[in-house]
Amino acid sequence: MAGKQVKTFNCPACGGVVSLLAAGHSVTAICTHCSTLIDTANENYRIILKNRQSVRETDIPMGAKGVLGGIKWEAIGYVEKKDISGEYFWEEYLLFNPYYGFRFLVQGDDHWSLARIIKRDVPVTLFDNTIIFDGQQFDVFYRSTATVDYVKGEFYWRIRKGDQDKYADYIAPPRMLSMEMNQQEITLSMSEYLLPEEIEQAFGVSLPPRRGIAPNQPPPFSGVRHKIWAVAVCTLLVAFVVHLGSSGRQEVVNTTIFHVMPDNSSKSFSTGVFFLPKRTNVEVHGSATPLQNNWVDLDLTLVSDTSNNAYEASQSLEYYYGQEDGEYWSEGNTERETYFESVEPGNYRLVVEPAPGQLGPDGMNVMLAVTRNVRAWSNFWAAVLLIFAFPVYTSLYRRYFEYKRWENSDYAPNSKGNDSDD
Amino acid sequence: MKKYDCPSCGAEVVFMSNLSVYAVCKYCSSMVVRHDMDVESIGKMAALPDDMSPFQIGTQGYYQGTNFSLVGRMKIGWQDGSWNEWFMATDDGRRGWLAEAQGFYAVCFETDPPPVDFAHKAIADQKNPGKFVGSTLVLANQKLRVVDSKKATCIGSEGELPFAAPQGRVTVSVDLLGPRGEFGCVEIETGKQRAFIGRYVEWKELRCSNIRQFDGW
């Protein structure tokens, strides 16, 4: 049996035809022609209030249908509310489906949430700072009084401009538990954050971009934050194993001792030719003896015999010691390592130009050991930085986000950013 | 199932449930009361105002292991609106009701009424509202809270019901709510209380068939 079409009646004020989309439920309707508030609880259609308000356009027109969460809803009512402080404004659309009942679509600062009244006896008062609901903790965000500023469409309760309700909002993003209290009753409702795109898609409308951060807006990387860290740690482990495994066995390819004589102290020396079969990192371990309260600078050049490749580095060896106030002290070291990274394969010699401090009559011995397949830890640490840059960024950004969120609340907790509530 | 001839128009009046004693003839809208042997007409029922209820006489559904079929309805009005109470014929023969208000559904069954003191408080509260709403009541061993209490008037009825529900029948109707969505209701008629206990249910849960269809839905 097909139900009747939408119920209509004539406005008792202007005579215009008014449709009732939720007949039997709606007790208040606003004439679409003259904005008169009409009592629709029974078929007498009494005038409650003649209105001189102009009709306002809404993002979602009355009578528009859209699917949210797999259920088709029709927008049948619209309320604009303002906080008594005059600082906050928001809109509530009343959605109806003859089988699923009613929902509320709430919009503030162009952020949207879908809300539903909770039919459960939850022992709460407006003064609670936290509410445990379904095992989840909700923290108070706002507490104030709301005033109805504008109404349009039809409603299953008595409503008119100027109606006031005390209210409190409690958040556990993306959910928000709202409490409204008037003389008769406390009403609890649960809302869930929606992306504007979901509303746009559902109702075929286009909406302005969101402003600021909504009380129940999910934090960035919500739900994936722990995964991001897990991926980073796994990547690090892989990088570590690869790093250990990639460079093969270390091998000393040349050891040479030079004698630096006082009469010819800056004469350059060359090692014998050694072969680097693969691209590699090369370590030059230098040491000097004797080196007592003295120094020597070594300019090192790795010169290819087979190509024009040349790699330069310098190494300073210095060692000082003494006795002061009965204590022995020393500074520097007689040996040191220098690295050449990513050296091309080929035959090489190491050319050394020494610049010693003072030389005794016997000069100084400089010993150089050249090793290939040396692991370059600097590469590894660079990789670590790279791997963790994003997770660290996500965590910092999230802290900042929570800080900005709670800026809008008088009840900001101290350490919200640390909560891991994914 | 018992069949009678309507004392007013002669058409067949069927009582699907043994619990039903009252029916509205669907042909002539006569209100028919069933006695042991025969039926009596007690006047005419005006047509019910149209609404968007998804249910109708004959809608079948399911609740906690029992199939039910809706056999009658009372439409109840109060100062700020109206709701439907659908009388169910259940497989297990209990007196079940499906309450439908503001898009919420609750299935409940008749249970022992609370002490008469409760009725006194409810009636006193109507005259002089105090702390009755918010007080607690144990009904069928469940602790419930009074969330709503109002003067209710029967706007009309259709199908069959376990008691006569003519237009204008006035009760005080008290709604109760439990921590897990338990639903309770106490109806107070002069000198008499009827109590019902059950819970709120989702539309999907009821698995209804033979429901009303609406254009565009």
The secondary structure element, H or E, covering residue B8 is none
Instruction: Write b or e for each residue in A227-243: b if 16 or more Cβ atoms lie within 10 A of its Cβ, otherwise e.
Output: ebbeebeebeeebeeee
Candidate from A98, A101, A121 with C-beta closest to B178: A121
The beta strand positions in A52-161, using DSSP E, are 65-68, 71-83, 89-97, 101-108, 111-117, 130-133, 136-155
Q: How many CB atoms lie within 10 A of CB B80?
A: 14
> How far apart are the C-alpha atoms of A182 and A160, rounded to whole Å?
14
Q: Which of A20, A121, A134 best probes binding to B when mutated, by most B CB atoms within 10 angstroms? A: A121
**Residue A65 in contact with partner chain B when CB distance is under 8 A:** yes
Mean residue pLDDT of chain A comes to: 89
Task: Please list, in sequence order, all residues whose beta carbon lies within 8 angstroms of the beta carbon of residue B110, skipping any fewer than 6 positions away.
Answer: B94, B95, B97, B194, B195, B196
The SS3 call for residue A42 is coil
Q: How many CB atoms lie within 10 A of CB A404?
A: 11
Instruction: Write b or e for each residue in A343-375: b if 16 or more Cβ atoms lie within 10 A of its Cβ, otherwise e.
Output: bebeebbbbbebebeebeeebbebebbbbbbbb
Q: Token pair for residue B182?
A: 């338990």
**pLDDT in single tens digits along all 217 residues of chain B:** 888 999 999 999 999 888 899 999 999 999 999 987 788 999 999 888 889 999 999 999 999 989 999 999 999 999 999 999 999 999 888 889 999 999 999 999 999 999 999 999 999 999 998 889 989 999 999 999 999 999 999 999 999 999 988 889 999 999 999 999 999 999 999 879 999 999 999 999 999 999 999 988 8
**Residue A46 in contact with partner chain B when CB distance is under 8 A:** no
> How far apart are the C-alpha atoms of B151 and B125, rounded to whole Å?
11
For residue B177, the chain A residue with the least C-alpha distance is: A121
A98 with B179: Cβ contact below 8 A? no
pLDDT over 70 (residue A5): no
CA torsion angle B204 B207 B213 B215 (round to 10): 30
Structure confidence by residue, pLDDT tens digits, B96-153: 999 999 999 999 999 999 999 999 999 999 999 888 998 999 999 999 999 999 999 9
> How far apart are the C-alpha atoms of B42 and B34, rounded to whole Å?
11
Structure confidence by residue, pLDDT tens digits, A100-153: 999 999 999 999 999 999 999 998 888 899 999 999 999 999 999 999 999 999
pLDDT at B110: 94
Confidence of residue A414 (pLDDT cuts 50, 70, 90): low
> How far apart are the C-alpha atoms of A288 and A357, rounded to whole Å?
12
pLDDT over 50 (residue A418): no
Plot region of A141 (φ>0 → left; ψ -120 to 50 → alpha; else → beta)? alpha
Confidence of residue A381 (pLDDT cuts 50, 70, 90): confident
Confidence of residue A29 (pLDDT cuts 50, 70, 90): very high
- Which of these, B12, B8, B9, B23, lies nearest to B71 by C-alpha position? B23
Q: Token pair for residue B90?
A: 């259940």
Distance from CA of A238 to the nearest CA of B (A): 50
pLDDT at A421: 46
**Residue B9 in contact with partner chain A when CB distance is under 8 A:** no
Residues of A in contact with B217 (CB under 8 A): 72, 97-99
**Residue B177 in contact with partner chain A when CB distance is under 8 A:** yes
> How far apart are the C-alpha atoms of A137 and B65, rounded to whole Å?
34
- Which of these, A41, A101, A62, A28, lies nearest to B53 by C-alpha position? A101
**Residue A154 in contact with partner chain B when CB distance is under 8 A:** no
Number of H helices, E strands in chain B: 1, 15
Task: Please list, in sequence order, all residues whose beta carbon lies within 8 angstroms of the beta carbon of residue A377, skipping any fewer than 6 positions away.
Answer: none
- Which of these, A43, A42, A45, A41, lies nearest to A16 by C-alpha position? A45
pLDDT, mean of residues A376-391: 85
> How far apart are the C-alpha atoms of B12 and B16, rounded to whole Å?
12
DSSP letter assigned to residue B149: E
pLDDT at A3: 47
Residues across chain A: 422
Residue A216, φ and ψ in degrees, nearest 5: -110, 20
Structure confidence by residue, pLDDT tens digits, A162-211: 999 999 999 999 999 999 987 767 899 999 999 999 999 999 999 999 99
**Residue A85 in contact with partner chain B when CB distance is under 8 A:** no
Distance from CA of B38 to the nearest CA of A (A): 32
pLDDT at B96: 94
Q: How many CB atoms lie within 10 A of CB A161?
A: 15
pLDDT at A246: 66
Structure confidence by residue, pLDDT tens digits, A311-345: 999 999 999 988 888 888 888 888 999 999 888 89
Plot region of A230 (φ>0 → left; ψ -120 to 50 → alpha; else → beta)? alpha
- Which of these, B95, B101, B26, lies nearest to B57 by C-alpha position? B26
DSSP letter assigned to residue B63: E
Can you state the angle between helices A225-246 and A377-407, rounded to 10 degrees? 170
Residues of A in contact with B50 (CB under 8 A): 4, 7, 23-24
pLDDT at B20: 92
> How far apart are the C-alpha atoms of B17 and B87, rounded to whole Å?
10
Distance from CA of B53 to the nearest CA of A (A): 7
The SS3 call for residue B111 is strand
Confidence of residue A410 (pLDDT cuts 50, 70, 90): confident
> How far apart are the C-alpha atoms of A98 and A308, rounded to whole Å?
84
Structure confidence by residue, pLDDT tens digits, A272-291: 999 988 888 899 999 998 88
Distance from CA of A141 to the nearest CA of B (A): 24
> How far apart are the C-alpha atoms of A3 and B213, rounded to whole Å?
5
Q: How many CB atoms lie within 10 A of CB A340?
A: 23
pLDDT, mean of residues A82-93: 92
pLDDT, mean of residues A203-227: 91
- Which of these, A185, A93, A8, A75, lies nearest to B80 by C-alpha position? A185
User: Model pTM?
Assistant: 0.80
pLDDT over 50 (residue A417): no
DSSP letter assigned to residue B167: T
Rounded to two decimals, the ipTM of the complex is 0.94
A24 with B181: Cβ contact below 8 A? no
Torsion sign over Cα B11, B16, B20, B26: negative
CA A364 to chain centre: 60
Structure confidence by residue, pLDDT tens digits, A252-263: 999 999 888 887
pLDDT, mean of residues A84-104: 94
Candidate from B80, B104, B177 with C-beta closest to A158: B80
* Of B103 and A247, more confident: B103
